Amino acid sequence: MCNFVRQFTLKTIQQRKRISNLNLINANNRFFSEKSEKSEKSEKSEKSEKSEEETSRGRDKEYFDTDLTIHSFEVKEKKEKQTYLECLRKYESQAGRKSDRVEFIYAALKYMDEFGVNKDLDCYKQLLNTFPKGKMIPTNRFQAEFMHYPKEQKCATYILEKMENNKIIPDIETERILRNTFGKDSIPIHKFWRMMYWMPKFKNLNPWPLPRPLPNDPLELAKLAISRIASVDHQSEVTVLQTESVQDSIDKTWIVSAISPTQRKLLAEHKPRTKAVYVEGPFTNWVGDQAVDYFVLLTKNAKDEIKIPRVDPDDISNMEVSYWRLKKTSIVTYPSVHEQLNETIYSVCATGTSSKDSVLSWIRCLQKENPVLSELHVVFTLRQKPEEKIKLLAGMQEKRRKIEER
């Protein structure tokens, strides 16, 4: 009896173990099957999301490259400030297109000169406002020392350098924008502080101040250039002449001429009469970022013709009192500022066309007030401009090509 009970209990125990093992196996299978289904669903969803992101990025990048950087700036018919700011606002209003922010800013900087806003402070501030606020501020000393977001900081520094090259002094709002974008320990804010220290010091140091904004009229630019050149003699007179008053003149243009009473006297005393006077040029004088060509009427001096006494006004080693001198000496006249060692300058001018005919009309206008010019030999030693040389060489090459083809 005891053996029967023992065998029966062993069998029941074994059956229960088998049932429990089967239950565990079924539970594990259900768990792993559900997990695999979930993972497959998540992978499918991730792949779909990635494909959507890639397509959206591709569309955004394509839209950015064609419509914003090139199309928006090139298609605009009116190249002015309002249309330029409109392109910047259009970029800011587009969602999901901020990954190419630095490239867009460099493209916008390239078109500033074309739109005429390279000297407008509001456009520079609008470009700096394109950067996000607070995201690029360093949170510790290591980020500040190792240039947090270097590409963006270099771009902002380039904007400030363009402002410095165009002589645009930033204001307090510019500092606030840079602080909110990059923080106080960034390279752009240090560049801003250096600009605010030095630029106001050099703003009004030019002895020939220019109007702001600079005029676009060539006649006004020529007046500024000739006035600057003739400022060595405060008695110089700047006059505007018209070639229409000259007989047989081909070019109908204006002439800005400068001559002083001292130069008139030197021209009247020009001896011998057989000695030639020369018209040289054109030379270039820069008025701001505009170039003005001018011509000079002069004569060549011999080596010993102009004697400039070598007197050092700061030397007090051999100082004498003239009242104590018993021996009188002759008075040595110091040459004027127009009498240089190698040449004596009689007049200077700028014409509207910078041609030989306009310079000849200038000489004929000078003859009315300086009749001695009709007795002198005037030699024109005009040089060609680089543009004219390029055209001449191109024409010669074209002629050679036609001869070779024949």
Model pLDDT for residues 85-109, shown as the tens digit of each residue: 888 888 887 765 566 788 889 988 9
Residue 55 has pLDDT above 60, yes or no: no
For residue range 268-326, what is the model confidence (pLDDT) as tens digits? 998 888 889 999 989 999 998 889 999 999 999 876 666 666 667 777 777 766 666 65
pLDDT tier for residue 349 given thresholds of 50, 70 and 90: very high
Residue 302's pLDDT is: 75
Query: What is the structure's pLDDT at 158?
Result: 95
Residue 161's pLDDT band (cuts 50, 70, 90): very high
pLDDT per residue as tens digits for the range 386-403:
555 445 445 556 666 666
Q: What does the mean pLDDT of the chain come to? A: 80
338: closest CA among 269, 287, 272?
A: 269
| pLDDT for the residue numbered 60 | 41
Of residues 180, 372, 198, 139, the one with CA closest to residue 277: 372
The span from the CA of 369 to the CA of 73, in Å, is: 54
pLDDT (tens digit per residue) in 141-151: 888 888 889 99
SS3 375: helix
What are the residues facing 113 on neighbouring strands? none
Q: Quote the pLDDT of residue 331.
A: 65
For residues 255 and 361, the answer to whether their CB atoms sit within 8 Å is yes
Would you place residue 249 in the very low, low, confident or very high pLDDT band (cuts 50, 70, 90)?
confident
State the pLDDT at residue 251: 84
Confidence bin at 180 (pLDDT 50/70/90): very high
Quote the pLDDT of residue 104: 86
**Run of H or E residues at 240:** strand 237-242
Cα–Cα distances in angstroms (integers) from residue 351 to residues 101, 126, 143, 355, in the given order: 47, 41, 59, 8
Percentage of the chain beyond pLDDT 90 is 38
Residues in the chain: 406
CB 120 within 8 A of CB 80: no
Confidence of residue 61 (pLDDT cuts 50, 70, 90): very low
pLDDT at res. 94: 73
Other Cβ atoms less than 10 A from the Cβ of 226: the count is 24
Mean pLDDT score, 166-190:
93
Helices (H), 64-111: 72-75, 81-93, 101-110
Give the separation between CA 295 and CA 380, rounded to whole angstroms. Answer: 10
For the stretch 196-212, pLDDT in tens is 999 999 888 888 888 88
Q: Which one is predicted more confidently, 134 or 42?
A: 134
Nearest Cα residue to 122 out of 100, 89, 150: 89
Helix axes 81-93 and 121-128, enclosed angle (nearest 10): 10
What contacts 361, CB < 8 A, 6 or more positions away? 241, 243, 246, 249, 251, 255
How many other CB atoms are found less than 10 A from the CB of residue 168? 19
Output the pLDDT for position 383: 82
**What per-residue confidence (pLDDT) applies to 65?**
45
Greatest distance between any 2 Cα atoms in the chain: 167
And the tokens for 261?
A: 């009473």
Report which residue type is found at 402. K
Reported as a pLDDT band with limits 50, 70 and 90, residue 340 is confident
pLDDT bucket at 58, cuts 50 / 70 / 90: very low
Question: Do residues 306 and 340 make contact, with C-beta atoms less than 8 angstroms apart?
Answer: yes
State residue 314's pLDDT score: 78
Q: Are 354 and 243 in contact (CB under 8 A)?
A: no
**What share of residues in the chain are helix, strand, coil (percent, to 5)?**
55, 10, 35
Residue bearing the bigger pLDDT, 255 or 250: 255
Residue 157: pLDDT above 70?
A: yes
Instruction: Pull the structure tokens for residue 88.
Output: 């910047």
Distance, in Å, from the CA atom of 76 to the CA atom of 69, rounded to the nearest integer, reads 12
* Residue at 68: amino acid letter: L
- Whole-prediction pTM: 0.67
Q: Is the pLDDT of residue 45 over 70?
A: no
**% of the chain exceeding 70 in pLDDT:** 68
What residue ranges in 260-395 does DSSP mark as E strands?
277-287, 290-300, 343-351, 378-382
Distance, in Å, from the CA atom of 367 to the CA atom of 245, rounded to the nearest integer, reads 13
What pLDDT shows up at residue 281? 86
Give the rounded distance of the alpha carbon of 174 from its chain centre.
20
